[in-house]
Each structure stands twice: as C-alpha cells, then as structure tokens.
Structure 1
Amino acid sequence: MKLSKVIAQNIVEEMMSVVPYNINVMNEEGVIIGSGDSSRIGNIHGGAVEAIRKKALNIIYDERKGVKPGVNEPIIIDGKVIGVIGITGYSDEVKKFIKLVRVTAVLLIEQAEANEKNQNINLKRERFFYDLVNRKIPYDEKILKIAEDCGFNISKKHRAILAFISNVSKEIFQLRKKYIFNYELNTNKIVFFIADDYKCNSLINELKLCRDVEKIGIGEKEEIFAISLENTRKVIEIGEKIKPNSKIYNYGELKFFIHLYHKNKDQVTNLISNIDKSEYKIELIQTIQIYVEENGQINDAALRLNIHRNTLNYRLERIKKLTGKDPKNFFQLFELFCGLIWKE
C-alpha cells in the first residue's frame, strides 16, 4: 500500500494531541508528507532516508543541514517500508515515545486501508445491484463473478420486493441492515432481493407493520431479477387503481389484470371518462373500487364506504346511467373494472 498525505497528516494530528513534540511522517522516499510544522512538508528528510536504507531505527543526535535532532523509525507493513515516522527532539527525551507513535501509526494506516477496502466493496456492491435492477438480458460470466464476490447467489431465482417509503427512519435502516441484499432506487423506493420464501414472508410482514412504508409490490421469482422488479412496478400501478386502500400488491394475484389486452381500449376508458365529467366522480370511482374489493357484497361495501345500502344502490344506479354499464352485472362490471385499469 501507499501512504497518502491525508493519512500522514491524520497520524501527525492524532499523535501530537498526546505527545509534546513535533512529529513528521515521511513517505517511502523520505519526503515529508505530514508534519506539525507545515513549512517542512515537501522537504527530503535525511534521517528518514537513512532509516529506510537500514530498515531500522535511526537516531540523530546533533542538528545539521535539513535535519533536526530526533528519532526516525520506518513503518513496515508486510515486510515493505511504506514510510517513516519521526519525532523531533533530543534522543533521550523522545526515544520513549517512538514505539508508541509507530504502533499507533500502523493501526491508523491499517484502519484507513480497511475503511478504503470497505468503501470499495460497498461501491462494487452498489454497481452490481444497479446492473441487476436494470439488466434484462441473461447474465454473463463477468456479472456471475461479481455476484460471487458480493456473496450473492445469482444462480437462484430471486423475487423483487419493492417498498414505497415516506421517510428513511431508523426502522427502515434496521430492515435494510437485516435483509442486506437491497438497493435504493431513489429516495422513496427501496427494492429487496429475496430468494428464500421464509425470508420473503418475514420481510413482507415487517414492511407491512412499518409506518414509513406506504405501498409494497411483490414480484414473482425470476431468473432475471429486473423482470421481477418491473412486475412489482406494474402490480403497484394496477393495484392502486383497482384496490387503492390496500398496502400490499402481489403480482401473482393480479397477473391476469396486468396481462389484459384490449384492441379497442378507448371504448372502455371512455366509460370512466363519462364518470370523470360528473360532479360526483370521486365518490363514484371509489364506489366501483370498494364494490369490486368486497366482491359485489352490498352490505360489506356500504359498511366500507360508511354509507347506507340504499345510498350505495343509488350510486350504482348513477354509474349505470353515466356509463350504460350495470355494476351488478358481472360482465359489465368487468368492463368498468378494465376502464379503471386503463384509465390514465
């Protein structure tokens, strides 16, 4: 590894808070890259050059050109000299500090290296998950290798669980920490990569109970993860139109409606457009939605809408007059239902 100027100065500042002498840190060529005396940075330190040559402690007793009295000890990691730590002062006074300073310097360097390694790992994971949520073609050897490095078993079919969140709370943070394979699509959308059915059910239950989660889309297991993710988006889009009060939308349950295709969609969407022109459009559309959710049960739908059953019958009759379709007729209700799905 290479000793950077940032790490070198961090070592200086950390150690000078406890050691009452000036400290210098030199690179592998003996150039001062960190110092309590900023005027010395960039200069060649003769004592450090000698310590590098000998790979051992070098003590300077007398001041001479470009070198002050002090002790200089090489920083050796994995058998290689990566720099030198130096304390300015008369040898008998500063010698007792050099071992402490060197050990601390090594610990700080190793910590910085570990942090950089973790950052690189996290960056690699982020790039991998970005590819995973966008790639809709079969995986090649390159992505298989990256998946292996990230500890992600890409050979298994994975299910996308898409959560729409209102706030990045501590609870959301803990969920992301617990179910580690996840990716933040944007500030209010997080997708989880789940292969295990038990974990899938556990995650869904926890998301359901989380107050900061507004909607949950559940995809099916797919060999290409981006396909499962695309399906979660579709199921939420359709689900919000036909079951707006639900929090969870399962692709497997609404697949039929997602796959619906009609050559003359305009004719069907015009049914809902007729309702849109009415001054009671909001309550009438809500009436259709709740009526469908309650499987056409008048009493249950009226209870959900908090109205009398006679009021519900009046609304259904009004929908019939506006659209020409009777919600109490299964096939005509289905047309209205499709109109809701295709409504822009």
Structure 2
Amino acid sequence: MKFFEQIAQSIVDQASSVLDVSISITNAEGVIIGCNDLERIGSYHAVTEEVIKAGRSVVFTRDKIKNKNNVLPGVATPVRFQQQLIGVLGIIGEPEQVERYVKFVQSYVEMMLRESFRAESFYIQMKTTELFIQHLIHFKEWDNEETLENYCEMSGFHFRYPRLCILIDMPHLQPSKGDKQHPVHLSQYDLFLMLSDLFEDHPQDIISPINPKQWIVLKYVKSEDFSKLRVRCEGALKRLKQLLKNHSIPNEVCISYGNSYTGFSGVGRSYRQAERTLEAGRKQKGASSSVFAFNDWDILLNTFIQEVSTSFSEDLDDYLAQLLSHSNAPVLAKTFLVYCEQGMNVSQAARELYVHRNTLLYRLNQLSQILNMDIQSFEQCTLLYLALKQNKEIRSSMQVI
C-alpha cells in the first residue's frame, strides 16, 4: 500500500515523540518503512511474516532474537487497515517494559493511518473538483461539453438547476516569497469544512479552490433566496476573518458574487461577473475586507468603467486634455465628481466638500468654460463623469489633494 509507505516515517516520528518509545514499522513484505533508527529503513525485518501469520502480538525477548539478524527486543503487533493486515508495528525495548504500550500505540498508529487516508482521499477529490471547476469557468474557451457531462454523470451534479458563483478571496493564504512573519498553518481541509458549513445546504452546491488564494462556491439559489444572499455572505465574512485570525494569518477577506444562471456557460458567466465585481469593488471601496454584489449599482458603474474599450478610453482622454493641462485640474475634477455623486445637488455637494455654495458654482462654471460643456445637461455630465472615473492621471492626482 503506497500511501502507507509514504506516511510511515511521519507516523513513527509523531508517535514516538508523544509516547517516548522507540518504534519501527514494516510493510507486509517485511521491509522497514519507518523507524527511529534511520539506518534501518529499507532493510528486511525477518520476523514480519511470523507476526502476520500469527495475526496477534508477538513478544521477542533477547534469548529469542539472539540468532536473528536485524531484530531487536520488544513486542511486534500487526497493523490493520480496512480489515486487512498491511504491516507490522514494532515497539522496541525490554518486553516487560514496553508490552503495556502495545494496544495504545497500535490504536494510535491505526488511527493516524485512517486520518492520513481520509486526508489523501480528500485532496484527490479536491483536485478532481478543481479541474472540473476550471473547465466550467473557462467553458467558452475550451469547448469541452462532453468532458463536463461525463463528470456530471459521475458526480451527480446537474446544470439545469440555476447556480451563481460566489468568489472568496483571501490573499494571505499564500504569503509572498520571503515572508517569514506570516507562515500559513491552515489546511485546505479545515477551510473546506468551514466553507461547507457557511454555504452548503443543497446537494447541488459545489465548493472548491481555484488557486492558492481563492475559493469558489457554485451555489444553487432559488429566486426567493437571492435577497438573503448578501446577509449570508456578510456572516461568512466575519467567520472567515476570525478563522484566519485564529491561525495567525492576516485576516483580509473579500467575497463577491454574480447572478444566477443555468447551464455550463452560465457558470462561466457568473464567475466572470464575480471576478469583475471583486476588482471593481476593491477599487471603489478601497476596503481590505468586504462583500461585493454584482447587482449593486455602484459596482455595476465601476465595472462598466473598467470595461470601456481601449480605443474609446483614449478618445475620452483626448477630450480631457484641456482640463488636464489646467493648474487646478485635480480640484475641479473632484468637485465635479462629488457634484454628480450628490445627485447634481449644489447644496449637498458643497456640504460634502466643506466649501461655500458660491465656491462650488465658480468651480463648475470654470470647468464648463474649459471643456465647453453644459453643466446642466445630464447627458454631458454623464459622459464627463465616466471620462474622469476611467482616467488614471485624474485618479492619481486626486489622491494627493
């Protein structure tokens, strides 16, 4: 059993450090695969066959082993896994001193075997699910419907049900190279259990990592449950932040989600919405931890601004050239943006900027003259607002005023 050989030494190290006894483990063929004395690993243990045939603990005194090569005094007992004898555990020492430990150490080793097998099975399943998710979210690119249908038939997932994508971003799950201050001690399994508890309440829900810093939840959602989703995500945000804090990981978490769709292509569409929503939300809010919804109007606006084509963006920048060359451009730009965001209400905008109403009107009039625009026109103000929001030079200059 290959996984037994892979973990035998770690079992020996853990068990012997906890119980303060010397241990060896052999596989069913009698090869030592774990031992406190590393020089014995890989050597043949002559009494393994005898212990496996006996099917019970066998005591080896000094007299009994004096003509046996590579056998030490102690007690040897079979190791069982899934009702099969897969090897032998040896507890090394004078039999009368170590015999009392046999049952306890045997139970401990077999428990660790079960835990290791469970973890190994989980990671294999998680990798399979992650690959499936990658096919789903890039469905339009890969054109792999047959592969997806085969997996769905095997796993019992059906994409005639509506699902939305919830994207959970935890940037510090993978610390940057050389970051010794924030080592990560949170297993994928623990994180999966937490996310399952937070989001999984239907057999068609799918949870998986998509990269070292992000997890995805493909959530089956009825239309009447959609309004409750934000509250659920905000509750999840708090618990995930606490989980990271408990593991001494910087607790920066963002959650975003798209709309609900059916079919394979619907998953990719919802994922792209969640991805753009995350990016737009972070830029807009400037928050290290928050929940961002695709159907939030502020998010939609920022997503729209992000999606402006390069050629049209360059045209807008040309339109702003006269303003950018003005010495007071950052102040005028900020004044106009606040004016728009306050519903084009002069009094509210003046209060927001802590300036006199007449000062605000003077700035708007100045802007109108520079750009030759009608400051009372909703259409012209909308275009200028979009132009200013997407212009990098304006955004950076406003950060310093």
TM (norm. structure 1) is 0.75
Alignment partners' CA distance in 1, 2:329 and 2:237: 30
Give the unaligned 5+ runs of structure 2: 174-181, 183-190, 201-206, 242-250, 393-401
Q: CA separation of 1:193/1:294 partners in 2, compared to 1, >3 Å: closer, same or farther?
A: farther
The structural deviation recorded for 1:175 is 8.6
Query: Partner amino acid for 1:178?
Result: L
Contact 1:125–1:150 (CA under 8 A) maintained in structure 2: no
1:230 correspondence with 2:272: yes
Task: Tell me the equivalent position of 1:86.
Answer: 90
Contact 2:59–2:74 (CA under 8 A) maintained in structure 1: yes
1:105 correspondence with 2:144: no
The structural deviation recorded for 1:275 is 1.8
Q: 2:164 aligns with which of 159, 163, 184?
A: 159
Structure 1 range deviating more: 7-16 or 322-331: 7-16
Give the unaligned 5+ runs of structure 1: none
Q: Write the deviation string for residues 161-188 of structure 1: whole angstroms up to 9, x where unpaired.
A: 567778779xxx899562464757675x
1:289 correspondence with 2:337: yes
The structural deviation recorded for 1:35 is 2.1
Q: CA separation of 1:94/1:245 partners in 2, compared to 1, >3 Å: closer, same or farther?
A: closer
Query: What's the secondary structure of 1:34's corresponding residue?
Result: strand
Alignment partners' CA distance in 1, 2:117 and 2:235: 36
Contact 2:130–2:210 (CA under 8 A) maintained in structure 1: no
Contact 1:28–1:83 (CA under 8 A) maintained in structure 2: yes
Q: CA separation of 1:262/1:19 partners in 2, compared to 1, >3 Å: closer, same or farther?
A: closer
The structural deviation recorded for 1:70 is 3.6
Query: Partner amino acid for 2:348?
Result: D
Query: What's the secondary structure of 1:222's corresponding residue?
Result: coil
Q: Write the deviation string for residues 46-105 of structure 1: whole angstroms up to 9, x where unpaired.
A: 111222344444444412131344432221222322110123445555444333322222
TM (norm. structure 2) is 0.66
Query: Partner amino acid for 1:324?
Result: N
Q: Write the deviation string for residues 201-240 of structure 1: whole angstroms up to 9, x where unpaired.
A: 2145558999977987653323423323333455677789
Contact 2:273–2:294 (CA under 8 A) maintained in structure 1: no
Task: Tell me the equivalent position of 1:278.
Answer: 326
1:219 correspondence with 2:241: no
Q: CA separation of 1:244/1:300 partners in 2, compared to 1, >3 Å: closer, same or farther?
A: farther
Alignment partners' CA distance in 1, 2:254 and 2:72: 68
Contact 2:258–2:294 (CA under 8 A) maintained in structure 1: yes
Q: CA separation of 1:239/1:87 partners in 2, compared to 1, >3 Å: closer, same or farther?
A: closer
Contact 1:3–1:83 (CA under 8 A) maintained in structure 2: no
Task: Tell me the equivalent position of 1:65.
Answer: 68
Alignment partners' CA distance in 1, 2:93 and 2:194: 54
Task: Tell me the equivalent position of 1:340.
Answer: 388
Q: CA separation of 1:245/1:82 partners in 2, compared to 1, >3 Å: closer, same or farther?
A: closer
Alignment partners' CA distance in 1, 2:144 and 2:10: 43
Alignment partners' CA distance in 1, 2:157 and 2:313: 43
Q: CA separation of 1:118/1:151 partners in 2, compared to 1, >3 Å: closer, same or farther?
A: farther
Task: Tell me the equivalent position of 1:75.
Answer: 79
Contact 2:25–2:90 (CA under 8 A) maintained in structure 1: yes
Query: Partner amino acid for 1:64?
Result: N
Q: Write the deviation string for residues 90-132 of structure 1: whole angstroms up to 9, x where unpaired.
A: 5555444333322222112112212222333343444444444
Task: Tell me the equivalent position of 1:299.
Answer: 347
Contact 1:23–1:86 (CA under 8 A) maintained in structure 2: yes
Q: 1:121 aligns with which of 122, 125, 147?
A: 125
Structure 1 range deviating more: 199-208 or 274-283: 199-208
Q: How many residues align?
A: 339
1:200 correspondence with 2:194: no
Alignment partners' CA distance in 1, 2:357 and 2:237: 31
Kindly name which structure, 1 or 2, has the bigger radius of gyration based on alpha carbons: 1
Query: Partner amino acid for 1:229?
Result: Y
